Amino acid sequence: MLKLNGTLTHFPNPVANSKNVYSDAQRDVISIAKAANAIADIKTWPAYSETPLHSLAAMANDAGLGALWYKDESQRFGLKSFKALGGAYAVACQLQNVLEAQLGKRPSIAELLDGQLKDALSEIVVSCATDGNHGRSVAWGAQMFGCGCVIYIHRDVSEGRKQAMQAFDAEVIRITGNYDESVRQADLDAKANGRIIVSDTSYEGYMEVPKDVALGYTVMLAEIVEQLEGEVPTHVFIQGGVGGLASAVAGYFWDLWGERRPRFVVVEPVEANCLQLSAKAGKPVIVDGDLNTLMAGLACGEVSALAWEILSNGADDFMTLSEEAVAETMRMLATGYKSDPGIEAGESAVPGLAAAVIAAQQVEFSNALNLNVKSKVLVIGTEGATDPELYKQLVG
């Protein structure tokens, strides 16, 4: 019998777009057309390969679902996270912008990589704040293309994640505040020192770069569409955070599938549920405090303005997941459930899967979400063991 411990809360979005009209403003954030260049560019990067889409048939059967697909990002570019796509792509775009202004001609990705522009690139410094994975992508992108990099982390980011960024030659600065305070500090210092902020969250006066980050993620989404071989999920359970990934997934699939789009369910930690609270308030809401959660990549208290442009009416449901479900789900994936494959999944990779399985087996939630034996559920395993020591503690 498949059973996961953990409790859920559920808030159905009262303004979810029942007419499935994807607006021009939403399409300006993410669209199939805008994604095409990002997909083409990233597929030319050294060591690109698509990541697997696993069918968890045994788990689906025991949870009472028709299908359960798990997109496994645990080995993406060796960085063990889907964020390898977004941060590094946004770094490339910013370098192209700077060099185009200097040279009068926009360099290609190949020209950034082949060493011709080495001296000019070495004078540029990119920067961001991070819980770990986005910063690792930015640092890796900076090293790959040859520019400088300064990363800000908050008090709760593990030493292992800090060292992973330093391994890509980034300068890493730890502050005493939380994630949202590290975002503000990185922005202040970038303005004072002439650095380029490459953030995965948007805020007033800073909207364009996060669009490039989100476009980087579409490589993963295009892979999923090909791997599904014509199938369209009925549900997508996706992790929250600031909303960047969730909005990219919702927007891309909405633009692609229109009226056939899946039901989008956003999952957050109980202590960092800024998206759920924003949906309840009908406007972005800030969650203050320590944002204490094992799901480190989701410990975010402020909604990305661009993400909210899509999620405010593109997400159908907002859920929270209690902490005890996380390690249990990680262990279940690591060993492989019955005939399902073993999968390396970090603590921020599993909330969507855990919420889907728990919801499917509880009448209150299965009825509210229309989950049943005909449901075909997609989840995205966003990371592997990005903190190996913590993974070992949780999984054994």
- List the catalytic residues: 83, 131
Measured distance CA(391)–CA(386) in Å, rounded: 8
Q: Which helix (H) or strand (E) holds 130?
A: strand 125-130
325-364 residues labelled b (16+ CB within 10 A) or e (exposed): bbbbbbebbbeebeebeebbbbbbbbbbbbbbbbbbbeee
Residue 105 near residue 174, CB atoms below 8 Å: no
For 228, other C-beta atoms within 10 Å of its C-beta total: 15
Measured distance CA(313)–CA(18) in Å, rounded: 9
SS3 at position 204: coil
SS3 at position 137: helix
Q: What is the CA radius of gyration of the chain?
A: 20
Q: In this structure, which amino acid lies at residue 169?
A: D
Q: Which helix (H) or strand (E) holds 263?
A: strand 263-269
> CA nearest 266: which of 198, 328, 313, 204?
313
Structure tokens at 284: 């972005």
> CA nearest 250: which of 343, 313, 178?
313
Q: Tell me phi and psi for residue 69, to 5 degrees.
A: -105, 140
Measured distance CA(162)–CA(156) in Å, rounded: 11
Within 13 Å and on the Cβ side, how many CA atoms surround 8? Answer: 28
> CA nearest 382: which of 233, 231, 200?
200
